[in-house]
Amino acid sequence: MYVGFCLILSTVLILGNYQIVVYFEDFSVRLISPIAIDEIFQASGVYLYYRDEQLLDITEAWSIHRTPQGCTVTRIERNAPAFGALVLVETRQPEGATDIEQIEVHWWNQTPGAVGVAAASYTLQNGVIDCLRWVDGSELVRESILTPPTLVVSPLMRVFLGSVLPKVADKGEAMVFVPWIHDPMDADRLLTVDLERRSASALSREVIEVEGEEFSTTCYSYYSRTDDDDARFWVADSGVLARYAWNGWDVRLAEYRTEEVGAEEDEAPYPLASSAVFYG
């Protein structure tokens, strides 16, 4: 646990190099940890954000690999130049585990007054959520919380909703763990463990077209602080979230691949958040 978090701090404080891996037609994606040569590609895609049918300068690119030991590793970059923000997430789910057991989050934000740089590491084992946080030069803060019996893990990004929604719907309602990011200016709470009772329901079966690709899906409702009766989520039969629509927002899956078509690797330093241009 502590070793993993030291690695986080080395990348945030010393600004070590991030691996750039090209999977997508128009841009590359930064990763917290490099993809090992023996990891097996499972899937990749990118979520595009629309507001009132206008494409926004926000992307959420992701890839899933499997290690020789059977651990599923998911890596995501949410790149939002429009908001001066960048978030990297990496999760690990060991073979045979019923949910994710390790999460790392790296945060940068250029908004005046917001937390500029932060990192957190979460381990979920033996009935405990163990969190270590570092925020804008502060000392390490450790937080340990007992795991609720109906826990479902939802590590911030859209790609995880493809598995989160069926789990919550099967339970009727569940305590959902999401790292807290509701207010970028609240340094005391940013990236803390947030538990919220949520419910979900499978509403209908639908075939939809998203960014030129057809998906056979189940449409879900999801009730939380940020989603209400009007929010709709379409989960494809493959288990990936194909689309999410709510209050004028529309998040759509693009460039979805389940076979690797070639990856180009390079090493590039990541600049300070205060002067970064958040493009791939």
Task: Examine residue 186 and state whether it is found in any structural domain, yes or no.
Answer: yes
Assign 3-state DSSP to the chain and report helix, strand, coil percentages, each to 5: 10, 50, 35
Domain region containing 156: 2-254
DSSP letter at 28 equals -
Tally of domains in the chain = 1
Cβ–Cβ under 8 Å, residues 264 and 67 = no
Neighbour count for residue 133 (Cβ, 10 Å): 25
Tell whether 270 is covered by a domain.
Answer: no
State the Cα–Cα distance between residues 276 and 86, nearest whole angstrom.
10
Give me the numbers of helices (H) and strands (E) for the chain, helices first please.
Answer: 2, 18
| Cα–Cα distance, 210 to 252 (Å, whole number) | 6
Where does residue 108 rank: exposed (0-12), middle (13-18), buried (19+ CB within 10 A)? buried
Q: Mapping DSSP to helix (H, G, I), strand (E, B) and coil, where does residue 162 land?
A: helix
Start-end of H helices in 130-273: 161-171
For residue 263, the model assigns a pLDDT of 47
Q: Does residue 142 form part of some domain?
A: yes
Write out pLDDT tens, residues 228-238.
678 999 999 99
Those residues of the chain that have pLDDT short of 70 are: 1-29, 226-228, 260-280
Return the pLDDT at 30: 82
Contact yes or no for 57/82 (Cβ under 8 A): yes
The tokens for 202 are 């499978």
Q: Are 245 and 252 in contact (CB under 8 A)?
A: no
Q: What is the reported pLDDT for 41?
A: 95
Q: Give me the pLDDT at residue 18, please.
A: 39
Does residue 70 sit within a domain? Answer: yes
| Residue 269 domain flag | no
Residue 280 lies inside a defined structural domain of this protein: no
Residue 274 lies in a domain: no
pLDDT for res 31: 85
| Within a domain: 247 | yes
